Amino acid sequence: MQLLNWLKSWGAFALLAGLVACGGGSGSSPNVVDLTRSDARFSVLAEAVAAADLGATLSGPGPFTVLAPTDAAFAALLAELNLSKAQLLADKALLRAVLQYHVLGSQVAASQVPLGKAITPLAGGIFKIDANAGALVVTDGRNRKATVTQTDLVATNGLLHVVDKVLLPANLNLVQTAQAVPAFSTLVEAVVAANLQGTLAGTGPFTVFAPTNAAFAAALSELGVSKAALLADTALLSKILTYHVLPSRVLKAEVPVGAAITTVEGQSFSVDASLAITDRLGRKAQITGTDVLASNGVVHTIDKVLLPSDVTLPGQRTLVQQLQGMPQFSVLVEAVLAANLQDALSGAGPLTVFAPTNAAFTALLAELGVTKDQLLANKPLLTAVLQYHVLGSQVLSGQVPVGKAITPLAGGIFKIDANAGALVVTDGRNRRANIGFTDLRVKNGVIHALDKVLLPANQTVVQTAVALPQFSILVEAVVAAGLQDALSAPGPLTVFAPTNDAFAALLAELGVTKEALLANKSLLTQVLTYHVVSGRVLKADVPLNTPIATLQGDTFTVNSSLALTDQRNRRANLTATDVLASNGVIHVLDKVILPRP
């Protein structure tokens, strides 16, 4: 009845009767082209058909179904594309593609429209038509909506349906479509990390059940991994993502409710009448948005990440099994096997592994001047280095004791600092490594990725000072006082180390020469031991505004701005901190501090 009322309201019967009586203005019954030429609403469409050289085709036997945009629809398109009518009519390739996108190669009356299903026009691609509040609404390839305002205008070679918007074919593939939707940003990251963007941008067609960012956030919590850790596990990621893809275009109206739907990954899931998906683990996900069209498929939005049944989740794998499944750690796995540490890293734990990537090992080989085979053959070195990357407890990123000494299984220490939101490791040789992904939780611990192989300390505080030119006078003083052996002992010790400039200022203050100072062993010993504290005290552990006892016996204090006050009420500033050594730590001072006279 509604369609009949539309026809009556537009005077279509009168129009058709008149066209038949006058032969469509050409002495014969009107075809679809004649209909557009004889109706003032379609003047631009008639011009466009002529400019695109489609008049002869659309005057042929057909049958055709034409979705006919009005002049107002073309005016809106010109504004949308920022073109003049002349520019549009001159672009023959664009014009032909757009016009043929409005034509079906068969006669489809309004009552015959396959609602909600893919409709393929002469131009290729698809659009779909839905019923909405008694009206027919077309969704084109760019997910723009057009309303059918009049239906079933009869021609000798088909039908015309009037639309209030010019339809446009798809210009974005599935990946580009997802990239344009902020709610799919994590999905896009995952597709790129799994190197699936080329496949999903290919010919297809595919159907993608696309989890939102919120769905991925919930999955990360469920799986017990960070986003970075999941993105790094490309084998797992690829398996999960391909479980969300069908090897054909399936619109909402075409979903086989209740049947097993086989995915690209190989396993199936099912969809019930309420559009709830049940995955192979019996978990439920709701389809919350449907039929986002793309040039090579369709996207449906889901509120939960789906999981196939045979996926081995990180929490079910040991540290070694997890690393074996991640290609970027293949050299680390080789090293673990060469050092015969696989059993130790597969035990009950919990353990924390700072895992260097293959690129990190490549850089280490260049740094040490050895080949991979030479490194793997040096079992004592390999064991020491690998165990330096392992903690005997599970330490998640949020539990890292920032700035404090961390003791790995190999002994020694390293420390971790926060820098601009990232975690940076300083190893025993004061080399820095960035932590990539964090918190990849496995059956017997947790993995954090590193971009550099850590190395344990190989120099005492004396050797460390010797290697730094700004401490040359300090080294001379230590030797002159006969303290080099004491400062090379196991310790640990904390040395507040004055620079050469600090010693130069002291000599001026005391009015003595360097030679005179170095010759006064008693004074030199008093001064130097006043700069040494028993125990390894990193910057983060320095007790502020509290007397700190030195090996000399007197104390000094450190305030919150890292200024020291000595026994003579003189001030010195800490200008650098936490230079690690095998038997302690060095902090740099800009002034020599002095005990009481």
Q: 529-547, pLDDT tens digit by residue?
A: 999 999 999 999 999 999 9
Q: Are 84 and 176 in contact (CB under 8 A)?
A: no
Do 192 and 103 sit in the same domain of this protein?
no
- Strands lying side by side in the sheet with 432-434: 405-406, 414-419, 422-426, 432-434
Q: What contacts 186, CB < 8 A, 6 or more positions away?
A: 211, 213, 216, 217, 227
Percent residues over pLDDT 90 in the chain: 86
Residue 9: is its pLDDT beyond 50?
A: no
Do 476 and 560 sit in the same domain of this protein?
yes
Cis peptide leading into 63, omega within 30 of 0?
Answer: yes
Residue 504: is its pLDDT beyond 50?
A: yes
Do 262 and 403 sit in the same domain of this protein?
no
Do 420 and 469 sit in the same domain of this protein?
no
φ and ψ at 467, to 5 degrees? -80, -5
Q: Is 597 a member of any domain?
A: no
Residue 27: is its pLDDT beyond 70?
A: no
Closest C-alpha to 566, from 529, 523, 595: 595
At residue 23, the pLDDT reads 34
One DSSP character per residue, 411-445 reads: SS-EEEEEETTEEEEE-TTS-EEEB-S--EEETTE
At residue 25, the pLDDT reads 39
Residue 121 structure tokens = 């026009």
Residue 529 structure tokens = 């031991």
At residue 273, the pLDDT reads 94
Q: Are 219 and 244 in contact (CB under 8 A)?
A: no
Strand 390-391 versus strand 64-69 pairing type: unpaired
Q: Is 307 a member of any domain?
A: no
Q: From 163, 190, 213, give the residue that closes a domain.
A: 163
Do 209 and 89 sit in the same domain of this protein?
no
Do 560 and 465 sit in the same domain of this protein?
yes
Percent residues over pLDDT 70 in the chain: 95
Q: Quick one: how far is CA 144 from the chain centroid?
A: 29
At residue 237, the pLDDT reads 93
Residue 195 DSSP SS3: coil
Tell me how crowded residue 384 is: count the other CB atoms within 10 A of its CB.
17
Mean pLDDT of all residues in 143-165: 96
Q: Is 308 a member of any domain?
A: no
Q: Find the CATH number of the domain harbouring 321.
A: 2.30.180.10
Give the C-alpha separation, 281 to 308, whole Å: 7
Q: Are 176 and 299 in contact (CB under 8 A)?
A: no
Quick: pLDDT tens for 48-97: 999 999 999 999 999 999 999 999 999 999 999 999 999 999 999 999 99
Residue 41: is its pLDDT beyond 70?
A: yes
Q: Is 596 a member of any domain?
A: no
At residue 24, the pLDDT reads 38
Do 222 and 291 sit in the same domain of this protein?
yes
At residue 5, the pLDDT reads 39
Do 248 and 331 sit in the same domain of this protein?
no
Residue 84 DSSP SS3: coil
Give the C-alpha separation, 375 to 336, whole Å: 12
Please count the CA atoms within 13 angstroms of the CA of 56 that sit on its side-chain side. 1
Residue 239 structure tokens = 């398996």
**pLDDT classification of 441: cutoffs 50, 70, 90:** confident
At residue 4, the pLDDT reads 36
At residue 28, the pLDDT reads 60
Q: What contacts 372, CB < 8 A, 6 or more positions away?
A: 331, 334, 361, 365
Can you tell me which residue has the tokens 């971009």?
451
Q: Is 69 a member of any domain?
A: yes
Q: From 121, 141, 163, give the residue that closes a domain.
A: 163
Do 225 and 327 sit in the same domain of this protein?
no
Mean pLDDT of all residues in 130-147: 95
Mean pLDDT of all residues in 540-556: 95
Strand partners for 293? 298
Residue 232 structure tokens = 């790094």
Residue 133: is its pLDDT beyond 60?
A: yes
Q: Is 467 a member of any domain?
A: yes
Do 6 and 152 sit in the same domain of this protein?
yes
Which amino acid is present at 118? A
- Strands lying side by side in the sheet with 145-155: 103-104, 64-69, 158-163, 145-155, 135-139, 128-132
pTM for the model stands at 0.76
The whole domain housing 329 covers 314-450
Quick: pLDDT tens for 426-440: 999 999 999 998 888
Q: DSSP assignment, residue 201?
A: T
Average pLDDT value for the chain: 92
**pLDDT classification of 367: cutoffs 50, 70, 90:** very high
Quick: pLDDT tens for 244-261: 999 999 999 999 999 999
Residue 17: is its pLDDT beyond 80?
A: no
- Weakest-pLDDT range from 89-93, 224-228, 421-425, 574-578: 224-228
Q: From 107, 129, 163, give the residue that closes a domain.
A: 163
Give the C-alpha separation, 434 to 443, whole Å: 25
Q: What contacts 268, CB < 8 A, 6 or more positions away?
A: 260, 261, 262, 280
At residue 12, the pLDDT reads 38
At residue 100, the pLDDT reads 97
Q: Is 139 a member of any domain?
A: yes
At residue 357, the pLDDT reads 96
Do 322 and 369 sit in the same domain of this protein?
yes
Q: Is 153 a member of any domain?
A: yes
At residue 463, the pLDDT reads 96
At residue 229, the pLDDT reads 87
Which amino acid is present at 342? Q
Residue 337 structure tokens = 């096997």
What are the start-end ranges of the H helices in 467-559? 472-480, 500-510, 514-519, 521-529
At residue 13, the pLDDT reads 35
* Total number of domains in the chain: 4
φ and ψ at 486, to 5 degrees? -60, -40
Do 281 and 320 sit in the same domain of this protein?
no
Closest C-alpha to 320, from 336, 307, 301: 336
Mean pLDDT of all residues in 282-288: 95
Give the C-alpha separation, 327 to 234, whole Å: 8
- Strands lying side by side in the sheet with 390-391: 390-391, 351-356, 445-450, 440-442
At residue 226, the pLDDT reads 84
